[in-house]
């Protein structure tokens, strides 16, 4: 997990000159983690070595995107060479695009944890719109920190007589988490990994 914005940018957007008790730094980390959990992958580039089950197909979709390079691929103990193009013809081996590894002349044979892939995936930097979405979500969370938490079982609040009606499951100590704002969702949904892979 990586922080998806800097402390300086967050402080500027929140209208602060310093970070009281490291609260903004903690909020950056927490919000970044929420975003990556929603997206389904780590945003910034890193190396992975993962094992997968073989399904007899010639294509393997990876959980980490975008796929930048594949360093090695082993199926049932056999090292698969990287494919190449000779005279306009693709040779046997593995090839990849930004979400998957494909095979020519081989198959991801049926098996349990019989495929090991070492690869690099992720972005070299956080896209500007994604970073702004993180900061916007942080600003909403920061603004809500001074408000009284509302229990998940509150069915009605009346300000004039300070009346609060409780009902349903839960108790007064259960508090709602600040939901993802629709403007943040509109940006992050573009980057969310397709869970159908």
**Cα–Cα distance for residue pair 175/50, rounded to 1 Å:** 38
Q: Which among 105, 61, 99, 55 is positioned nearest to 82, based on CA atoms? A: 105
Where does the pLDDT of residue 190 fall: very low under 50, low under 70, confident under 90, or very high at 90 and above?
A: very high
Where does the pLDDT of residue 167 fall: very low under 50, low under 70, confident under 90, or very high at 90 and above?
A: low
* pLDDT at position 39: 92
The residues that bridge with 46 in the sheet, in sequence order, are 121
Q: Which of 59, 94, 121 is the last residue of a domain?
A: 121
The 10s digit of each residue's pLDDT in 61-97 is 999 999 999 999 999 999 999 999 888 888 999 999 9
Q: Are residues 38 and 61 in the same domain?
A: no
Q: Are residues 66 and 96 in the same domain?
A: yes
Q: Which among 174, 192, 187, 181 is positioned nearest to 139, based on CA atoms? A: 181
Q: Which of 93, 121, 149 is the last residue of a domain?
A: 121
The 10s digit of each residue's pLDDT in 99-128 is 999 999 999 999 999 999 999 999 999 999
Q: Are residues 130 and 109 in the same domain?
A: no
Q: Please tell me the total count of domains within the chain.
A: 2
Cα 153 → chain centroid: 30
Q: Are residues 54 and 111 in the same domain?
A: yes
> Could you list the residue range(s) of the whole structural domain that residue 116 is in?
46-121
Q: Which of 92, 121, 150 is the last residue of a domain?
A: 121
Is residue 152 pLDDT above 50, yes or no?
A: no
Q: Around Cβ 154, how many Cβ atoms within 10 Å?
A: 17
Q: Would the pTM count as exceeding 0.85?
A: no
């Amino acid at each position: 997990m990586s922080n998806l914005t800097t402390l300086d940018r967050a402080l500027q957007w929140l209208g602060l000159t310093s970070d009281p008790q490291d609260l903004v730094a903690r909020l950056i980390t927490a919000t970044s983690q929420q975003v990556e959990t929603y997206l389904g992958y780590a945003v910034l580039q890193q190396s992975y070595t993962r094992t997968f089950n073989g399904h007899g197909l010639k294509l393997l979709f990876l959980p980490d995107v975008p796929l930048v390079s594949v360093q090695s691929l082993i199926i049932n103990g056999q090292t698969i060479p990287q494919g190449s193009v000779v005279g306009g013809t693709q040779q046997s081996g593995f090839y990849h695009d930004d979400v998957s590894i494909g095979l020519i002349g081989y198959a991801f044979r049926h098996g349990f944890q019989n495929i090991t892939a070492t690869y690099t995936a992720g972005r070299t930097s956080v896209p500007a719109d994604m970073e702004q979405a993180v900061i916007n979500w942080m600003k909403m969370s920061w603004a809500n920190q001074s408000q009284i938490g509302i229990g998940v079982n509150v069915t009605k609040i009346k300000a004039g007589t300070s009346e609060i009606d409780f009902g349903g499951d839960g108790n007064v100590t259960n508090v709602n988490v600040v939901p993802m704002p629709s403007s943040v969702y509109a940006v992050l949904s573009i980057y969310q990994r397709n869970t159908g892979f």
